Amino acid sequence: MTSTSSNSEGKDKTTVITVRISNDLDSGLAKIAEERNIPKAVVIREYLDKSRYFLIDHNSIKSFNKNNLMVLKRRYFKKIMEEFEERKQIELATELARFINDLARLEGKSDDVLYKLNLCEEYGFFSRYMDAEGYILISKRFGPQRFVEAFTWYLITMGNEGDFSLDFTTEEINDNSRIEKRYKKDIQPVRRDATHYAFEFAKLKDSDDKEGEKEGEKEKEKE
């Protein structure tokens, strides 16, 4: 059974859905609500909200572009990335950023940086966090430096300014002044705080700054 209602201004229409669930599932939802000290209805709405980002196909989880997904500890994911040499990290990061860009493209939002950052948060990569000056800050817990740099580069530029160079490894940057100069010119790493990476190319446009600021401190707390 469903019914639809709206607020006094006629906006934000909502639908009431009545479904039957097993007692075990109900108990599980109640336990989560108790642990988080929130109403069970909020827990249910949060799970339903995830349907905007994931597909449940029998016993598997898929993205909306039909990719099979796997749930991993974030620390374990980072450890896996650290085991690869940096050129491989760059290649894998580019593929992962392409995945997010493809999901955004399905919604007609490939140029919407805030939407793509929201996808990154929903998929558990890192919290969406922008500082007061509009810099996008990427948690260092997400992965090793070159991995994060290459991911952010492709996420923001979508390859329109060239690929993240495979020459931009720590060894090459430290040993070759020409590559170091090109790295600093293209990637422009900046220090905003000790726990996040930030880059000049990954700075919000003025039109996006206010929305980013609203969530800044709240999102940082999640880290």
pLDDT tens, residue order, the chain (223 aa): 455 554 545 456 888 888 899 999 999 999 999 999 999 999 999 999 999 998 988 788 999 888 899 888 999 999 999 999 999 999 999 999 999 999 999 999 999 999 999 999 999 999 999 999 999 999 999 999 999 999 999 999 998 988 899 999 999 999 999 999 999 999 999 999 999 999 999 998 765 554 544 444 444 444 4
CA–CA distance, 221 with 121 (Å, rounded to integer): 13
φ, ψ dihedrals at 148, nearest 5°: -65, -40
User: CA angle, 166 as apex, 160 and 167 as ends, to 5°?
Assistant: 115
Amino acid at 213: E
